Amino acid sequence: MNYILALAFGIGVVAGLRSLTAPAAVAWAAHSGWLTLQDSPLAFMASTWAVILFLALAIFELVADLLPKTPKRTAPAPLAARIITGSLCGACLCASANQSLPIGAALGAIGAVIGAFAGYEIRKRLVAGLNVKDIFIALPEDLIAIGLAWFFVTR
């Protein structure tokens, strides 16, 4: 059980980094049968429309993140989105393992808050410390978020 709780927290951290990468990975994993969500309130995540919707939104987010007018992930609206998607994804991972959905949602939300603030600070400090353009840190951060999401949903 501790393993599943750690995964729920971890997918929340991913949602904190990229709010829509985590649900895209969870929807894809559920649709592919890697996560078993049938007979749960979250079964909709395995549907084709959920995969298409979250994948399209995740791609849009990856592009929008590079735009200069994109708000900080720690601003109220983006942070709320991260908490919501972190909760959803944490609950999905727990549902797949027949564990408590509320505990998974709470761990996903906590992970999202930590991921959002830690990711923001690390990115800001790397850009300043390395004296590089933001895109040179943003792109590796995208790859890290995608890699971590796949790691957490395939366990």
* 116-129 pLDDT, tens digit each: 999 999 999 999 99
> Which residue, 17, 89, 23, 10, is CA-closest to 56?
23
Q: Please tell me the predicted confidence (pLDDT) of residue 1.
A: 65
User: How confident is the model at residue 155, as a pLDDT?
Assistant: 86
The fraction of the chain above a pLDDT of 70, given in percent, is 99
Give 70-109 pLDDT, tens digit per residue: 999 999 999 999 999 999 999 999 999 999 999 999 999 9
The H-assigned helical ranges of the chain are 2-17, 21-32, 48-64, 76-96, 101-130, 135-153
What are the pLDDT digits (tens) for 1-21? 689 999 999 999 999 999 999
The structure tokens 């049968």 sit at 33
Q: What is the mean pLDDT of residues 125-134?
A: 96
Pair of tokens at residue 16: 């904190």
Confidence of residue 67 (pLDDT cuts 50, 70, 90): confident
* pLDDT per position as a tens digit, 50-62: 999 999 999 999 9
Percent of the chain scoring above 90 in pLDDT: 94
pLDDT of residue 19: 96
pTM of this structure: 0.95
17 neighbors 116 (Cβ within 8 angstroms): yes
Q: What are phi and psi of 140, to 5 degrees?
A: -65, -35
